[in-house]
A and B are shown apart, each in its own frame.
Chain A
């Protein structure tokens, strides 16, 4: 090979930039496994579902079941609970949802029992619990009030209580997940 008299600058720049680009992409690709390993693994992701027999729950009663490590609230609502939820002016809500969007069957309210603020489990499941200003649930951690359809009414939480996917297999059997 003969040596050129003048250095070919554009060729040098190309090599320089190409090397840099490959280096950066390569580093980013090499770093990814080290970050992604922290995400939920296969055993966590494996979707589980549970079947709950709701026959024993009397009107006005509520139970908490565990689904994917989280508490799920199932409340058998009273006429009054439903009336309060239906008559609420949806336009005024922070996270507007009608009662029909919250419950597949009006008498059964099924929600994930985790406050959408910072993750505490709200009170209101047990008969003696404080239920907040809207006859639903009250999160004592930072004072979020949820109504009888689990919608956020007052306090720092941004969203209504989340709903899990669920299906009524029969009148008394519900499948969550």
Chain B
């Protein structure tokens, strides 16, 4: 990992002994203490640490919840109520887990938008980007299956709608859906396997986080100027400069998270999930968890089953392949005024789609969803490739990171 010289000096005999056999302390020191990090990183670079905190929170609260939860369609709903009322601190653990899922997604969305804005997906960070997308998909799988576990009305009907997406696949679709269900509808076998997989997926996710950090440490962090690190003056050691900044933000976010856990415990959930699952009655208005809403809006915008499913998955695929769609030589949108406007239009599109995903599928909501869906694809597949060729290079681009920070003049700062 990493291309800088190791300057770790084992102090004690035992450290030296270990270093010759398994240099873990050397690796930690090289990668997380002295690791050369661009000196101009801003607060948007602190989300990585926040994400790490939430992964740990989800795993720890999840494991203890699993000690009380029962994955049986007849008992699951009651076991969650039992956690809420009887288990010592059960209410806290469950609210931490449920809100932790939402905060995990808030952090990952900011983290992804950061990458899009500063061009962090561009060479040589394509693999880093793709591994990030894999992590995001695993997160969605984990959160989807977790939401099924309390076996409320939204759990049940969310699971039904999402698993039925696979039935759109020509010829084999119905067999695949039955394979997922282990039955002819979402029922006991489905719940049982979702629990097993909900336990497993975060562990796989954790492995991908390690690969993500590995890929990051091979090429180093991008930075707000989008410039390559050229000299030692461009960097600072990771500790204490960035560990402290990251921890400061992580702790502040945990404060907000605590506020939600204690005072707005159910704000991001849906009240219908406190109604026991009923396979005979669909709630009149079913909505997925908020973090899926933009994709749900896209699914519903297309008046065709297979078409809707393709559009929904396609919306994620275009994000995954952006390194090959946006090939403009400048990374940071600070120095790409036109692409910057387009970026904010895309952010607005994503937010509006999220809003529409929570509305009934009728009238102007559908029309608006369609228009926004078109923009989503146009942004990635047409605007970005065209701008890659047409947008002029910006003469305000500083020569190096140190020049941007320490300044030849104030120009660079003004350009923002």
Contacts and interface: CB of A to CB of B under 8 A. Distances in A.
B281 interface: yes
Interface stretch (B35-43, B90-98, B297-305, B372-380): B297-305
Interface stretch (A14-22, A24-32, A50-58, A150-158): A150-158
A120 B305 contact: no
A100 interface: no
Interface size bucket, B side? 35 or more
A118 B285 CA distance: 14
Interface stretch (B81-89, B177-185, B216-224): B177-185
Interface residues of A, number: 27
Given A70-B185, A118-B164, A118-B165, A158 B305 contact: yes
A123 B285 CA distance: 12
Interface stretch (A61-69, A101-109, A166-174): A61-69
Contacts of A157: 305
Interface in B69-126: none
Nearest to A139: B282
A38 B179 contact: yes
A158 B163 CA distance: 16
Given A69-B279, A118-B160, A141-B286, A44 B189 contact: yes
B280 A38 contact: no
Contacts of B286: 120, 140-141
B308 interface: yes
A41 interface: yes
Contact of A140 (B180, B182, B189, B285): B285
Contacts of B362: 143
A157 B164 CA distance: 12
Given A71-B280, A123-B284, A156-B303, A44 B184 contact: yes
A120 B157 contact: yes
A35 B193 CA distance: 12
B361 interface: yes
Given A70-B184, A143-B361, A156-B303, 9 more contacts: A118-B164, A119-B160, A119-B185, A120-B157, A140-B286, A142-B361, A143-B362, A156-B300, A156-B305
9 nearest CB pairs, A to B: A118-B164, A120-B282, A119-B164, A118-B161, A119-B160, A143-B361, A121-B282, A158-B305, A44-B183
Interface of A: 35, 38-41, 44, 64, 66, 68-71, 114, 117-121, 123, 140-143, 155-158
